Structure 1
Amino acid sequence: MRILHVLDHGLPLQSGYTFRTRAILKAQEQRGWQVAAVTGPRQGAVADAVEAVDGLTFHRTQAALKGGVVGELAGIAAFARRIAAAVDSFRPDVLHAHSPVLDALAALRVARRRGLPLVYEIRAFWEDAAVGNGTGRDGSARYRATRALETWAVRRADAVAVICEGLRGDLIARGIDGDKIVVSPNGVDLTVFGAPVARDPALAAELGLDDAETIGFIGSFYDYEGLDDLIAAMPALVAARPRARLLLVGGGPMEAALRAQAAASPATAAIRFVGRVPHTEVERYYALVDVLAYPRKAMRLTELVTPLKPLEAMAQGKLVAASDVGGHRELIRDGETGTLFAPDDPAAIAGALAGLLADRSGWDRRRAVARAFVEQERNWSSNICRYEPIYQRLTAAATVDGSWQRSPAGI
């Protein structure tokens, strides 16, 4: 089986998107499949048309991003040409495009001209991600147009994968046949991220966490993550638990505002910003944290989409506390694998965290149950099996149709 993945961006850039992609490609290779990837214009400036990163092959699109509809159309056309060239070189059995929808549009153009089956995988709806990132407005003309385009692409793809039940349910409500959709949930590569490292006393001392009860967040600083609510909860948490400290690792669009909020907080001395760290160093910071907190705000994006970071925390044997939104409820059973608290409510956050820190009697069992959940249900070595029946069905159909002769064609 030869699969060509069509991506918005990939390694060596670091994001939740690239980490999921890496896990998929590595797990597929371990299964004996041959994989390669094509990245789009959003990868940015690239030196080589084809490069190897972490043992994976990436075909790059040499195209400058331009704004507006005309710029987006030009980007799709350039991306489609690069996908076609990668098809000529790699000769895949399946095209597997990953959101956003622009990637699906470019891949569809190639798939139809070459008779290749296309799987379209949605990690979040682009219109909702724009609202969550503060670059779009719910219900605007652009929002409605993007939603319509997403539905159009889904109808034309040969199969659709989504990362959670929330996205699947939304597509079914749009009239998409549920049999066409498979859920391929976020997971953890336990061969890379499954063995917690020992606490580093020197790093703890450097950050002033020697004798602390440490609450942590490790990830991207977007508005929808609700980190402003977590910072707002710190005065009440410190009042209840004087040794409580907040460790924030990462960065993003909200970083400046969050640092300013923390500087003005009565609990400023209890808040630590580390900045971004290489993914290979992340485990050192997980080892310093008692409870990982994920206070996502309540909105369509967070109700529909499951995050990756709580799974990483569970794999590291850490307690997880998160807001009670749909995406978290697919991962966390309150009182069993984690703690859920009301979203958009700093007082609820402070109360939940203080309660966890005050009673450690059930910590070991909860961490063990959460870790077992990741091993059994969110391990990429087993998650990857969900793609196999889709690929087999589509390639069998393509063989019967005889529509693709593995011969280069122009685009």
Structure 2
Amino acid sequence: MRIAIASRIFEPEPSAASFRLAALARALVEAGHEVEVLTVRAPARLRGTGEMPRGYRVRRFPVLRDATGYVRGYLPYLSFDVPLFFRLLLGRKRDLVVSEPPPTTGFFVRLATGVRRTPYAYYAADIWSDAASQTGAPAWMLRVVHALESFSLRGARSVLSVSSGVTSRLSEFAIDSVATVGNGVDASRFSGALAAARRGAEDLRSRDAEYVYAGTASEWHGADVFVDALPAVLRDVPRARLRFIGGGAELEHLQRRAEDLGVASAVSFEPVMNAERIAPVLASATAAIASVRPGAGYDFAFPTKLYSAAVCGAPLIYAGAGPAEEFVRTRLDGAPLGASVAHDAEEVAAAMVSAARALEADEPQANWDRRGAVSRWATQHVGLEAVAGRAVDVLTEAVRR
């Protein structure tokens, strides 16, 4: 079959969507299909980085980006979606189109494929109308986003869901054909992280305590809880450092919050890094941190940055509710992967201090052995290969129907 994947983000831009869609493209090629990815031109700093496509073609188009370099916001979305509409409408005939959110992309995919009488599938990584409700957008805009999302979902031959929580939310859209394929991370991209980190610093106790937030910081993540916790952490761990690596709508808020609390010198904000660059950072971190703000309509979400951190062997700290709690509390050789606490600055601070104390108490060899064991376990359990295989089966059956 001829299959197109339409997404406003793709490799080499590091994101959960990029890894997931690249794995899907590879799996489709391995299943004997002809695959073409319709996406955006990568930022200049990332061009020429990352893996080369394995048997599939990537066609890129210029796009508007926001001030942080992301394709985020309605004008940037439309700068991709409108050309995509004509690329699908006037391009070669395909047997299936796979649409990645946002719903504006799904809207134009449905229009174009409807004219061409081509089935499409929608890859529901989350519920965008839920996320929009956390931005302070006016009610009329929320209704528009919900209508676009409903239109995109209901026209799909099949909807792929990344978790049972997302599947449950999708039931409110009255969609019949939803397949829960799961989620994960491209473990092979992070596989050399532990060895590289170990070569750079044999004894992590000699370094500053580093807490790494690697990924998007949006409204529903509530990453400000880590900034709020930092004054208390610094009282017990004076050399603690908080690193935000990535983009997101909350960055300016986080920067202002750090300044207001007088901890700006202990907080850094760094641009997006590809998997190969971020992996050694995670592998040598005191802890990798992630959060989901409870009660924001996103309690079902799982921050995939936890998967990446676990593959790198980093101890985990998660603040919030939902499915990530169970993952972080998974016990390996009698000890959990990390600490899962309430979305509360006091509890977060205690977990951060505890992670630093645990690192100080361990012998270097024992620490690296533990990280190695976590990395091997995570590589086996959260790899994207199985997820992509299930997605291929669903998409193949969708076309046959």
Which TM-score band applies after superposition, normalised by the shorter structure?
Answer: 0.7 to 0.9
Question: What amino acid does structure 2 have at the position aligned with 1:181?
Answer: V
Q: Is the 8 A contact 2:16 2:185 kept in 1?
A: no
Separation in 2 of the partners of 1:277 and 1:111? 35
For 1:218, the equivalent position in structure 2 comes to 214
1:349 partnered with 2:348? yes
Structure 2 residue runs without a partner (length 5+): 45-49, 66-72
Structure 2 SS opposite 1:224: coil
Which stretch of structure 1 is more off in the superposition, 301-310 or 164-173? 301-310
Separation in 1 of the partners of 2:384 and 2:314? 19
1:170 partnered with 2:174? no
Q: Structure 1, residues 354-383: CA drift from partner, whole Å, max 9, x if none? A: 233334679779756754553343212221
Separation in 1 of the partners of 2:268 and 2:74? 42
For 1:324, the equivalent position in structure 2 comes to 320
Q: Structure 1, residues 174-206: CA drift from partner, whole Å, max 9, x if none? A: 4323xx21123332222222232433787999x
Question: What amino acid does structure 1 have at the position aligned with 2:158?
Answer: A
Select which of 262, 267, 273 maps to 1:271. Answer: 267
For 1:82, the equivalent position in structure 2 comes to 87
Question: What amino acid does structure 2 have at the position aligned with 1:119?
Answer: A
Separation in 2 of the partners of 1:62 and 1:260? 32
Structure 1 SS opposite 2:184: coil
Separation in 2 of the partners of 1:200 and 1:372? 16
Q: Is the 8 A contact 1:338 1:370 kept in 2?
A: no
- Highest Rg: 1 or 2? 1
For 2:107, the equivalent position in structure 1 comes to 105
Separation in 2 of the partners of 1:33 and 1:135? 43
Separation in 2 of the partners of 1:281 and 1:264? 31
Question: What amino acid does structure 1 have at the position aligned with 2:196?
Answer: A
Separation in 1 of the partners of 2:209 and 2:21? 34
Instruction: Using the TM superposition, give the Cα deviation of residue 235 of structure 1 relative to its aligned residue in structure 2, in angstroms.
Output: 1.8
For 1:181, the equivalent position in structure 2 comes to 178
For 1:58, the equivalent position in structure 2 comes to 58
Separation in 1 of the partners of 2:373 and 2:74? 49
Q: Is the 8 A contact 2:61 2:80 kept in 1?
A: no
For 1:404, the equivalent position in structure 2 comes to none
For 2:132, the equivalent position in structure 1 comes to 130
* Aligned residues between the structures: 378
- Pairing of 1:16-55 with structure 2 (within 5 A): 16-39=16-39, 54-55=52-53
1:192 partnered with 2:189? yes
Separation in 2 of the partners of 1:192 and 1:74? 30
Instruction: Using the TM superposition, give the Cα deviation of residue 33 of structure 1 relative to its aligned residue in structure 2, in angstroms.
Output: 3.5
Separation in 2 of the partners of 1:39 and 1:367? 36
Relative to the length of structure 2, the TM-score reads: 0.79
For 1:293, the equivalent position in structure 2 comes to 289
Select which of 368, 384, 390 maps to 1:380. Answer: 384
**RMSD (Å), alpha carbons:** 3.8
Q: Percent identity?
A: 20
Change (3 A) 1:243 1:4: same
Instruction: Using the TM superposition, give the Cα deviation of residue 120 of structure 1 relative to its aligned residue in structure 2, in angstroms.
Output: 0.9
Separation in 2 of the partners of 1:284 and 1:38? 31
Separation in 2 of the partners of 1:370 and 1:203? 19
Structure 1 SS opposite 2:316: strand
For 1:394, the equivalent position in structure 2 comes to 398
Change (3 A) 1:93 1:269: same
Change (3 A) 1:374 1:154: same
Question: What amino acid does structure 2 have at the position aligned with 1:117?
Answer: P
For 1:338, the equivalent position in structure 2 comes to 338
Q: Structure 1, residues 136-158: CA drift from partner, whole Å, max 9, x if none? A: 35xx1221232233223322211
Instruction: Using the TM superposition, give the Cα deviation of residue 341 of structure 1 relative to its aligned residue in structure 2, in angstroms.
Output: 0.7
Separation in 1 of the partners of 2:75 and 2:252? 33
Structure 1 residue runs without a partner (length 5+): 47-51, 398-411
Q: Is the 8 A contact 2:167 2:180 kept in 1?
A: yes
For 1:238, the equivalent position in structure 2 comes to 234
1:4 partnered with 2:4? yes
Q: Is the 8 A contact 2:233 2:349 kept in 1?
A: yes
Q: Is the 8 A contact 1:154 1:160 kept in 2?
A: yes
Question: What amino acid does structure 1 have at the position aligned with 2:347?
Answer: A
Separation in 1 of the partners of 2:179 and 2:388? 12
Change (3 A) 1:57 1:209: farther
Instruction: Using the TM superposition, give the Cα deviation of residue 254 of structure 1 relative to its aligned residue in structure 2, in angstroms.
Output: 3.3
Question: What amino acid does structure 2 have at the position aligned with 1:142?
Answer: M
Question: What amino acid does structure 1 have at the position aligned with 2:18?
Answer: T
Structure 2 SS opposite 1:8: coil
Q: Structure 1, residues 241-270: CA drift from partner, whole Å, max 9, x if none? A: 344332333344433443343345454554
Q: Structure 1, residues 79-133: CA drift from partner, whole Å, max 9, x if none? A: 32211334x1xx433211111122222222233333322211112222233344x
Instruction: Using the TM superposition, give the Cα deviation of residue 319 of structure 1 relative to its aligned residue in structure 2, in angstroms.
Output: 0.9
Q: Is the 8 A contact 2:23 2:388 kept in 1?
A: no
Q: Is the 8 A contact 1:291 1:320 kept in 2?
A: yes
For 1:153, the equivalent position in structure 2 comes to 152
